[in-house]
Structure formats: C-alpha cells, structure tokens
Amino acid sequence: MKKENSKKTIIFSILLTIDFVIGIIGYYKMNFNSSLLFVEWIRKIFSIPYGKEFSVGIFDRGERLFWYVWIFTMAILVTIIEHELQNNKSKINKKAILKNEAPYLKIFYIYEKSKTKKSNNSSSKKWRELLYRIKMIEEQLSVEKDFGYGDDKLTDCENEISYLLDNLEVVIDKSNNVLADDDIEKIDSLIEKIKIKLELRKKMMIH
C-alpha cells in the first residue's frame, strides 16, 4: 500500500538528512581554519591526489576515505528515495476510477456550478448550509489528492465516492436555476453520503 511505501521514503529521507548533517559536522571540524565553502571543500578533496598539500594542511587517507564514504552514501540514499517516489507514482490501482486530484477537480466544478443556483425562499437557509458543506468537501479534497493508490478495499471505497460525486454533479447540472425542494433533498443526501465515505477512507488509510 502507498502508506507503507511512504514510510520507507520518510525513513530514507531521515537517513539522508542524518548523513548530510554528519558531512556538515565533518566539514566544520576539518575546515575550521579555511574560508572555503562546503561545495568547494568537497570539490577540492576529490580533485587532488593522495599525499598532496591542501590549503589547510595535508589530508590523511582516513579523512579522504571518510568523504568518499559520505558522498557514496548520499548518492545511494538519493537514488533509493527517487526510486521510492517513482514507485509510489506507478502503483495506481487498475480498478481506480478517479486518480490523484481528479476528485478535487470534480467537486471544484460542482461547487462553482452550485453557486449559480438559487432556492425557494422556504429553502434558502438550507441551501446556504449545503453550499457551505460542499465547500468543506472541496477544501478536504484539495489536500487529499492521492486517490487511486490503495488496495482493492480502499479503491472500492474511493470508487463509491466517485459514484456519489457523479450523482451530485448530475443533480446540480440538470436542476433549474431555482432549485426545487426535491433537488435540495437529493443534494443533502448525497453530500452526507460523500462525507461518510471520506471519513471511512481516512480511517482505512490509517489502519
């Protein structure tokens, strides 16, 4: 699952950070009498042969070996992280209907379309509440843009959200400029179902 891959990416990112910090500490300990920048320091190390004088003294082989290992470790960790990120992107479930930010784009359209609609005087308060709830779903999906990467069970839940969004879009598109009470009831029901499914999806991604 994507969640497990993300954990691996985080772990390797932490290791990369630790390795970088070790390099910075080594730089300050060995370079305290020089004004060379860190990048210049590394470049100098790899550009001079063993035993040659350096601007702050002579490097022994242990110090040179330290920097070779440091650079090699950095390169390996960067390669692994890049591979993990690419691997995460490629593991989209084939059953997924909406992928990545597609649900957000759909609810964004629904919200913009909904703002052009009006309601009867008797339902105006209810409609304002529904518009607010649609906006809340839009804001939630603006953050949750990782649809389509889960196992079959999670993907089924996401596909149900897709189905409900489609139905909501149809109701909004086919309704008159002044919404009938029946339309408002349908919209209310669909919004509630979408909210429930989004909460279920969030729980499934945690466990």
pLDDT tens profile 93-138: 889 999 989 999 999 999 999 999 888 777 888 999 999 999 999 9
Last residue of a domain, one of 40, 60, 90: 90
User: Residue 165: what pLDDT?
Assistant: 96
User: Residue 3: what pLDDT?
Assistant: 54
Please state, in angstroms and as integers, the Cα–Cα distance from residue 38 to each residue in 9, 18, 31, 71, 166, following that order: 26, 16, 9, 13, 55
Count of domains forming the chain: 2
Q: Are residues 49 and 116 in the same domain?
A: no
Average pLDDT value for the chain: 82
Range of the structural domain that residue 8 is part of? 2-90
pLDDT at 51 over 60: no
The answer to whether position 26 is within a domain reads yes
Last residue of a domain, one of 90, 121, 150: 90
Last residue of a domain, one of 40, 63, 90: 90
Q: Are residues 86 and 113 in the same domain?
A: no
Give the C-alpha separation, 4 to 55, whole Å: 47
User: Residue 207: what pLDDT?
Assistant: 66
Give tens-digit pLDDT for 186-205.
Answer: 999 999 999 999 999 999 88
Give the C-alpha separation, 66 to 93, whole Å: 44
- Residue pair 15/77 in contact (Cβ under 8 Å)? The answer is yes
Give tens-digit pLDDT for 19-39.
Answer: 888 877 877 776 655 555 666
> Which pTM was predicted?
0.59
Q: Which residues lie across from 179 on neighbouring strands?
A: 119
Please state, in angstroms and as integers, the Cα–Cα distance from residue 96 to each residue in 99, 101, 110, 184, following that order: 7, 12, 21, 29
Q: Are residues 83 and 106 in the same domain?
A: no
Q: Are residues 36 and 70 in the same domain?
A: yes
